[in-house]
Amino acid sequence: MTDTAAGTVHDRRGGLLRRISDTLFRRPHLLLTLLIAPPLLWLGIVYLGSLLALLAQSFFSIDEFSGMVKREFTLSTYAELLNLANVDVILRSLVMAVAVTLAAALIAFPIAYYAARYARGRWKAFFYLAVMLPLWSSYLVRVYAWKLILAKEGIITWLADKLYLTWALDAILAIPVIGGPSLSISYIGTFLVFLYVWLPYMILPTQAALERVPANLLEASADLGAVPRQTFWTVIFPLALPGLIAGSIFTFSLTLGDYIIPQIVGTSTYFLGQAVYTLQGTAGNIPLAAAFTVVPIVIMGIYLSIAKRMGAFDAL
């Protein structure tokens, strides 16, 4: 009875909008499709599409004679990628990314642990601020500041001199491969700046994971007679691991792709990002640049699948 009444009301006011609304109400799937289409199109066309266009470029090659791009399928660009000099660039970036990630995890964990379990009230706010604060200022400014700190006539050298520790600094700089004429002209310097710049991205997810470890589990562990070290390794660490891994995805991928830090601090040897940047510019060697960009995509693919197995995405 009421239904028919409502129906008549409908019919009387049945404009276009009303009819659309009715159709959508009757077919929830259609509504869902319409709502999800724009973001899907965005992802599909703008993001994946451009990515695929880039990947396709890597199967072209550059003409030996004219230096123009030949639009024919070939694997010769990938063969070129395996030149020793290019492999050097890849390995260098990879080793740096791994080193930065491990060091960041090592430093971030105690900070995150303190912030999550001990800091209260105002202190907690202070911790959040202290971790986030560097992210508010320009990335470039921070990197330039580090160049000055690490310079031969910079703060660290000055401090070492005042503390009669110049011999220690010299010993560090004398280490083959990673040493150099000064901290700012060595792999150690590049490493330190990377570590500083990406550290907040490791601390925040780790802290979030640690905060989610229920206190009653720790009490239960203690009740059952576990010493603190056992509690740490069997309860806290496994539960915090997804957070650490989530953080490592940031530090690892950001280090792998960065092309500004190694240009300002370091020995001028190329990292992946710089190689791509230089090759796609005046050189016009887009195929090789594209092949280079495939490398971090593959590395990150492998890395993410391992991270997924270890439960990094359960914490999201």
Partner 1 sequence: MNRMKRTFVSVIAIAALTGLASAAEMKKEIGPGEGQVNIVAWPGYIERGETDKNYDWVTDFEKKTSCKVNIKTAGTSDEMVALMNEGGFDLVTASGDASLRLISGKRVQPINTDLIPSWKTVDERLQNAPWHTVDGVHYGVPYQWGANVLAYNTNVFKEAPKSWNVVFEEQNFPDGKSNKGRVQAFDGPIYIADAALYLMKHKPELGIKDPYELNEDQYKAALELLRAQRKLVGRYWHDAFIQIDDFKNEGVAASSSWPFQVNLLVADKQPIASTIPEEGATGWADTTMMHSEAANPNCAYMWLEHSINPKLQGDLAAWFGSVPAVTAACKGNALLTDAGCDTNGLGNFDKISFWRTPVAKCASQSAGCVPYYRWVSDYIAVLGGR
Which of 2, 4, 66, 138 lies at the binding interface for partner 1 (CB under 8 A)? 66
Give the nearer residue to partner 1 in terms of CB position, either 86 or 248.
86
Half-sphere exposure (Cβ direction) of 286: Cα atoms closer than 13 Å: 11
Closest by Cα among 303, 283, 295 to 89: 295
- x/- letters, 204..243, toward partner 1 (CB under 8 A): ----------------------------------------
DSSP 214: -
Q: What is the dihedral of CA 251, 256, 258, 263, to 10 degrees?
A: 120
Distance CA 302, CA 109 (A): 24
- Residue 252 beta carbon to partner 1: minimum distance, rounded to whole angstroms: 22
- Residue 281 beta carbon to partner 1: minimum distance, rounded to whole angstroms: 2
Q: How many CB atoms are located within 10 Å of the residue 153 CB?
A: 8
Give the nearer residue to partner 1 in terms of CB position, either 109 or 270.
270
Which of 57, 86, 93, 253 lies at the binding interface for partner 1 (CB under 8 A)? 86
Q: Using DSSP, state whether 92 is helix, strand or coil.
A: helix
Interacting span for partner 1 (CB under 8 A) from 118-126, 161-169, 227-235, 277-285: 277-285
- Residue 195 beta carbon to partner 1: minimum distance, rounded to whole angstroms: 19
Vertex 53: Cα angle to 52 and 56 (nearest 5): 85
Q: Map the footprint of partner 1 across residues 147-206, applying CB under 8 A.
A: 147-148, 151-154, 180-182, 184-185
- Asked if residue 201 lies in contact with residue 250, where contact means CB atoms within 8 angstroms, the answer is yes
Tokens representing 299 are: 């590395």
DSSP 74: -
24 is a contact residue toward partner 1 (CB under 8 A): no
- Asked if residue 75 lies in contact with residue 61, where contact means CB atoms within 8 angstroms, the answer is no
Interacting span for partner 1 (CB under 8 A) from 126-134, 202-210, 240-248, 282-290: 282-290
92 is a contact residue toward partner 1 (CB under 8 A): yes
Residues engaged in binding partner 1 (CB under 8 A): 62, 65-67, 80, 83-86, 88-89, 92, 147-148, 151-154, 180-182, 184-185, 263-264, 266-270, 275, 277-285, 288
